[in-house]
Amino acid sequence: MRVHELRRVKGAALVALVLASPLATASGRNAEARSLAVVLDAHCRAREATVTLRARFVQTRVFSAIGEEERSTGELYYRKPDRLRWEYSTPDRSWTVIAGDRGWAVFPRIRQVQRFDVGRSRADGILSTIGFGACGPAFADSFDTTLAAGARGAPVLSMTPRRPELAASFTRIELTLDEKDHLPRDILLHETSGDRTRIELSDVKRGVAIEGSLFQFTAPEGYSVVP
């Protein structure tokens, strides 16, 4: 198995403000809180309104310990409330699917399917890290969130995981939101290992027809299935 495939297997189940200064006045902190509330409300309403979504992605992972980068491209498919397919086209074709509390990763080059249990709360957390899935109280329970300004003033939700299952993998998740549809276009995952993964989304389309078979488990003929 190639190195990048080992890395994808490891991350398959993972299928991510202007900070208040200690000298800020109370009125300044209140204004920031109101701004965060406005952005969160728009983002959560956008999540709730998203029934299906398809987008292209460029994923760049930086391995801090060895100073190397790994770049992948592909397409993602989402269906409300808990279906996600993350399909790589380069450097090798493979795909990972989350369907409720179940998941699997398919690696055509080595003719193998890896199945895994996600768990309800972890599945919600995985979807939240890329800006989809449950919001509202469930979102507030999962993250401590602040607001920052990104490139050209785009709002950035900086999220520190509160749930142990997410905190074990990520120290912080940054979602840079589109100012028109309030969904992410840039996702930056700060991992506990010190590595960073950036996911840039483009050609984002909501309300599109997505075949249910994309989220169904099938083991192609001749593939081994583990565990």
Sole residue written with tokens 């198995």: 1
Six token digits for residue 126: 């995985």
pLDDT value of position 20 = 29
pLDDT reading at 26 higher than 50: no
Tell me, yes or no, whether 216 lies in a domain: no
**Is-contact 14 40, C-beta < 8 A?**
no
Q: Which residue has the higher pLDDT, 203 or 129?
A: 203
Q: What is the pLDDT of residues 164-202, one digit of tens each?
A: 888 999 999 999 999 999 999 999 999 999 999 999 999
Domain containing residue 156: 3-17+29-204
Helix (H, G, I), strand (E, B) or coil at 94: strand
What pairs with residue 197 in β-bridges?
Answer: 61, 189
Radius of gyration of the chain, Cα coordinates, nearest whole angstrom: 18
The two structure tokens encoding residue 172: 């912080």
Q: Tell me, what's the pLDDT at 186?
A: 97
pTM, to two decimals = 0.82
Percent of the residues in the chain that have a pLDDT greater than 90, as a whole number: 67
Provide the number of structural domains found in the chain: 1
Contacts of residue 138, Cβ cutoff 8 Å, sequence gap at least 6: 124
| Residue 118 pLDDT | 86
Distance CA 81, CA 66 (A): 38
- Tell whether 61 is covered by a domain: yes
Reported as a single tens digit per residue, the pLDDT across 32-76 is: 566 999 999 999 999 999 999 999 999 999 999 898 999 999 999
CB-based contacts of 84, cutoff 8 Å, min separation 6: 15, 76, 77, 78, 97, 98, 126, 127, 130, 132, 215
CATH code (residue 155): 2.50.20.10
7 falls in which pLDDT band (50, 70, 90)? low
Is 90 exceeded by the pLDDT of residue 11?
no
Look at residue 167 and tell me if it is in a domain. Answer: yes
CB 191 within 8 A of CB 61: no
Q: What angle do CA 136, 25, 29 make, to 5 degrees?
A: 10
Please list, in sequence order, all residues whose beta carbon lies within 8 angstroms of the beta carbon of residue 107, skipping any fewer than 6 positions away. 1, 5, 8, 9, 92, 94, 113, 114
pLDDT tens-digit profile of 54-66? 999 999 999 998 9
Q: Is the pLDDT of residue 95 over 90?
A: yes
Q: What is the mean pLDDT of residues 150-163?
A: 91
Residue 40 lies in a domain: yes
Report yes or no on 209 lying in a domain.
no
H-assigned helices in the chain? 3-11, 26-49, 120-129, 137-142, 164-167
Quote the mean pLDDT of the chain.
86
* Percentage with pLDDT > 70 across the chain: 85
Residue 190 included in any domain: yes
Q: Which two three-digit tokens encode residue 143?
A: 């993250």
Contact 114, 104 (CB under 8 A): yes
Answer yes or no: is 224 within a domain.
no
Asked whether the beta carbons of 75 and 208 are under 8 A apart, the reply is no
CA pair distance 24, 21, nearest whole angstrom: 5
Q: pLDDT tens digits, residue range 114-132?
A: 999 988 777 887 888 888 8
- Structural domain includes residue 189: yes
